[in-house]
Chain A
């Protein structure tokens, strides 16, 4: 992302600018989105934070090919996030970089599922595989529906993203079968990942005011309306992998309302540190 915030000092190259930066506190931006804007922020933020978590595997995946694959997926997702955030940003009065780097945790609307630790904190590669599968299937179903959005820019973004996400699902599905139908150990670890992640999946299908508003304005589908199509995508793959998913519990995660897990702050700290330290820094 290129950073262009004219009111902020440029990347410090001299002592005088460095001292002025040192005395500058990076002010966070605050949003007061309409339900429609919340609906779009949720999509853009989910792509962005999922990309950030996938990118953590860069240099650490179990094999080189998968390292490249996960980085490529992250790249597509960053591109999708940029497009959506730029678009909603024109309505909110902020650019993509301000939205990504200068918002506080409560103003992010991504699902809790995508902010959970991937590579770190004892999590397994199976967690990354399963999350990627569940989420890219969800994104694929969503993008296909958004191709008919009344917001023509969103429809155009979806027209590109739907093709990319299809490849993401195919790739993730390959891994689900490989782990689930692999060795006893790989199947066990995939099951454990399901036990850890499943509680965060119902949020993907909760319907709130933003969903109702978006559906009424034909901006996009409500989350609840995606479930049947999503099941139709994942079930044949899970059957082939021999993986039975746990039943839905009572717990509901709330990232899409801006109330995040304890992990979100760490994601943002890493993602935002450069812009917070050097406001307006550019490549």
Chain B
């Protein structure tokens, strides 16, 4: 299982191609700065043949966190967006393996997060892994360090809380500009 993000295939049917374009505009309900494709949770789009299949457009989505309450809303938003674009009937299926990782968030997605005021996640397994990705369990001293403030860019920041407003984020404060901010936990 490699940590390679799924890319839109170079050659795809018009319907699949249009679907990817629509998906680029479907926003995450809890972090409405980035789209489901920026997040890297859309793993595949398959157009089923009307002849031997059901003619549906299948969108394969992987969950971010086991208990993420946005999962159902995301599926619904994708469904509605595809229906509105006239690309339906569409159905959303879930693929658990390989498990989603924040490494799949696109560079554009990371930039959008930063502009929205959320520090994007460090690479999994890096020093900024915050105990989630490195594979080793340790008390708080494993917390991420030198997370750059999304507002002023200073690395003089400190963690306020391991958990934040959603499952995917923790809470930080910038010592330089004194602003609190959220950090997208690498997982």
A→B interface (CB under 8 Å): 2, 65, 68-69, 72, 74-80, 82-83, 137, 140, 152-153, 155-157, 159-161, 163-164, 166-167, 169-171, 173-174, 176-177, 233, 236-237, 240
Contacts and interface: CB of A to CB of B under 8 A. Distances in A.
Interface of B: 63, 65-69, 72, 96-100, 130-133, 135, 137-140, 142, 160-165, 167, 171, 185, 187
B131 A170 contact: yes
A159 B132 contact: no
B186 to A, nearest CB: 10
B66 A171 contact: no
Contacts of B138: 170, 173, 236-237
A180 to B, nearest CB: 11
Contact of A65 (B137, B161, B187): B161
B98 A140 contact: no
Given A77-B67, A170-B131, A170-B137, A157 B162 contact: no
Contacts of A163: 99, 132-133, 187
B71 to A, nearest CB: 9
Contacts of A157: 66, 96
Given A80-B67, A164-B65, A174-B140, A156 B97 contact: yes
B66 A237 contact: no
B131 A160 contact: no
A169 B137 contact: yes
Contacts of B171: 65
Contacts of B185: 167
A156 B1 CA distance: 12
Given A76-B67, A163-B187, A167-B131, A237 B139 contact: yes
Contact of B66 (A80, A153, A236): A80
22 contacts: A2-B72, A65-B163, A68-B163, A69-B161, A75-B68, A79-B66, A80-B67, A82-B67, A83-B96, A155-B97, A156-B97, A160-B63, A160-B99, A163-B187, A166-B132, A167-B132, A167-B185, A167-B187, A170-B132, A173-B139, A176-B139, A236-B138
